[in-house]
């Protein structure tokens, strides 16, 4: 692949998703796009770049973006945020009237493991009036998240076996999330760079391991947009390697909790 | 880390035992091997490991028989017993859990799955990497 082709594909992905592909990602482009090239009978990445110049190839542009921005996921990924969530949820619940529906947003939800992990915790805590909203750029993963059907490999990543037998049903070689958990969740296709105001307010937002692919101005913009949807005493979870420092002044770290952030100036940010 | 975690890998396949050993030793575990439930029981009597990684289908004494015998002899909490088997039917998993297994891996497994389960069992810290 020549550098022009790389720049063209990277430019397309950046424009559509905000995700920055640095030149060292050439190998990733090749491996991730190989199935698409085969499926579309496109002989090379250079040929693909040429095809993408035509603005009418919307579905191809979408497929390329999805192939390059979809990330692996696991249940209860990184553990710690979920331990914090277990302590936080009862307190948030108690601070709200019973009629208030707790709302949790799994932004960049991938195939749904994060959203369903939250659903499991809510159920184990006996919190019923709650909903989880999952969103992702990729139509394909949103559909998979909605199905809630996972391979044997996927259900063994991060999920203790007791939770597997309690919250999943076996369907042939796959495992499907129980109807109770699925009823608590909703999934939609959504670009993190879009206007999120119509989503309303969330008590908790997860947006982990996706901002790392954005350039600093975009990171700041997305963080501000997420902060705008967060309840005054709510918490935003970012990935362990991510920070708000120098990117936004609307969010501050929750003391002693890696990856947890509260609104700046919020009283009693939950620790 | 203090003393190395002692682990007994029970499987009639030498290849599987070696694969499991490689993963466990990379985490600094001390590994012994047994090729059936009977030998595993002997090994436990000699010295009780923290963790038993246990195949189901084996000659002489199978995994479920070992599990029941071990729970009867050593009690419900030790050693930690994690099935690691091609048996992937829901009912089989429930049977093993009811008999006192703490975890369950459906083969095939990889480093990431095993490492994740070791974290869940509290034998490794959250930051352990496969």
Q: How sure is the predictor about A32, in pLDDT bands with cuts at 50, 70 and 90?
A: confident
Q: Do A164 and B93 touch (CB under 8 A)?
A: yes
**Rounded-to-10 torsion of CA A112, A116, A118, A121:** -160
Count of H-run helices and E-run strands, chain A: 11, 10
pLDDT tens digits, A9-30: 999 998 888 888 888 888 888 8
Predicted pLDDT of residue A81: 94
For domain A80-263, the CATH superfamily is Vaccinia Virus protein VP39 (3.40.50.150)
What is the CATH topology of the domain spanning B6-120? Rossmann fold (3.40.50)
Q: Do B112 and A161 touch (CB under 8 A)?
A: no
Helix (H, G, I), strand (E, B) or coil at A237: strand
User: How distant, in Å, are the alpha carbons of A10, A214, A236 from that of A69?
Assistant: 11, 11, 22
Q: Do B117 and A157 touch (CB under 8 A)?
A: no
Mutate one of B103, B113, B122, B124 to test the A interface: name it (highest A CB count within 10 A). Answer: B113
Predicted pLDDT of residue A27: 81
Predicted pLDDT of residue B2: 62
The interface predicted TM-score of the complex, written ipTM, equals 0.93
Predicted pLDDT of residue B113: 92
List the domain boundaries for chain B. Answer: 6-120
Q: For B116, which residue in chain A has the nearest alpha carbon?
A: A158
* Distance in angstroms between the alpha carbons of the first and the last residue of chain A: 49
pLDDT tens digits, A120-157: 999 999 999 999 999 999 888 999 999 999 999 899 99
Please check whether residue B90 is in contact with residue B59, taking contact to mean a CB–CB distance below 8 angstroms: no
pTM: 0.87
Å between B1 CA and nearest CA of chain A? 20
CB neighbours of A203 closer than 8 A, spacing ≥ 6? Answer: A92, A96, A102, A103, A104, A231, A234
User: Which one-letter DSSP state was computed for residue A42?
Assistant: -
Predicted pLDDT of residue A26: 83
CATH 1.10.3470 fits A3-69, yes or no: no
Q: Do A156 and B105 touch (CB under 8 A)?
A: yes
User: Which one-letter DSSP state was computed for residue A82?
Assistant: H
Predicted pLDDT of residue A78: 87
Considering A63-77, A243-257, B45-59, the range whose residues carry the highest mean pLDDT is B45-59
CA neighbor of A130 nearest in space, from A146, A147, A151, A106: A106
Q: Are strands A185-189 and A130-136 parallel, antiparallel or unpaired?
A: parallel
Predicted pLDDT of residue B55: 98
Q: Is the dihedral of CA B99, B19, A80, A70 positive or negative?
A: negative
Please check whether residue A107 is in contact with residue A205, taking contact to mean a CB–CB distance below 8 angstroms: yes
pLDDT tens digits, B73-115: 999 999 999 999 999 999 999 999 999 999 999 999 989 899 9
pLDDT tens digits, A151-165: 998 999 999 999 999
Which of B94, B104, B116 has the CB atom closest to A158's CB atom? B116
B8-26 core/surface letters (b: 16 or more CB in 10 A; e: else): bbbbbeeebbebbbebbee
List the domain boundaries for chain A. Answer: 3-69, 80-263
Q: Do B103 and A169 touch (CB under 8 A)?
A: no
Predicted pLDDT of residue A23: 85
Predicted pLDDT of residue A213: 85
Q: How sure is the predictor about A267, in pLDDT bands with cuts at 50, 70 and 90?
A: low
Q: For A83, which residue in chain B has the nearest alpha carbon?
A: B126
pLDDT tens digits, A196-209: 999 999 999 999 98
């Amino acid at each position: 692949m020549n550098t022009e082709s790389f720049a063209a594909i990277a430019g397309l992905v950046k424009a559509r998703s905000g995700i920055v592909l640095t030149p060292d990602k050439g190998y990733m482009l090749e491996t991730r796009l190989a199935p698409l090239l085969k499926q579309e009978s496109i002989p090379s990445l250079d040929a693909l770049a040429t095809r993408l110049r035509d603005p009418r190839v919307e579905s191809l542009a979408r497929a390329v973006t999805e192939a390059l921005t979809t990330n692996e996921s696991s249940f209860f990924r990184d553990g710690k945020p979920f331990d914090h969530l277990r302590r936080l949820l009862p307190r948030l619940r108690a601070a709200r009237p019973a009629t208030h529906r707790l709302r949790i947003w799994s932004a960049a939800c991938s195939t749904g493991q994060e959203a369903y992990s939250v659903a499991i915790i809510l159920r184990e805590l006996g919190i019923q009036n709650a909903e989880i909203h999952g969103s992702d750029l990729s139509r394909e993963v949103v559909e998979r998240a909605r199905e809630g059907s996972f391979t044997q490999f996927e259900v063994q990543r991060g999920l203790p076996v007791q939770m597997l037998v309690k919250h999943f049903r076996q369907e042939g070689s796959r495992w499907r999330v129980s109807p109770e958990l699925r009823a608590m969740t909703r999934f939609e296709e959504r670009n993190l760079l879009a206007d999120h105001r119509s989503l309303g307010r969330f008590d908790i937002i997860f947006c982990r391991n996706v901002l790392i692919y954005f350039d600093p101005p975009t990171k700041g913009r997305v963080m501000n947009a997420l902060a705008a949807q967060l309840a005054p005493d709510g918490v935003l979870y970012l990935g362990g390697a991510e920070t708000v420092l120098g990117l936004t002044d609307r969010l501050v770290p929750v003391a002693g909790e890696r990856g947890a952030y509260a609104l700046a100036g919020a009283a009693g940010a939950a620790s | 880390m203090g003393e190395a975690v002692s682990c007994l890998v029970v499987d009639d396949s030498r290849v599987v035992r070696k694969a499991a050993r490689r993963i466990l030793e990379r985490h600094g575990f001390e590994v012994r091997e047994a090729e059936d439930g009977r030998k595993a029981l002997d090994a436990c009597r000699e010295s009780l490991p923290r963790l038993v990684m246990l195949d189901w289908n084996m000659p002489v004494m199978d995994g479920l028989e070992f599990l029941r015998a071990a729970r009867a002899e050593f009690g419900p909490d030790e050693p930690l017993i994690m099935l690691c088997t091609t048996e992937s039917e829901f009912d089989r998993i429930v049977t093993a859990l009811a008999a006192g297994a703490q975890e369950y891996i459906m083969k095939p497994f990889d480093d990431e799955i095993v490492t994740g389960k070791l974290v869940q069992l509290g034998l490794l810290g959250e930051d352990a990497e496969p």
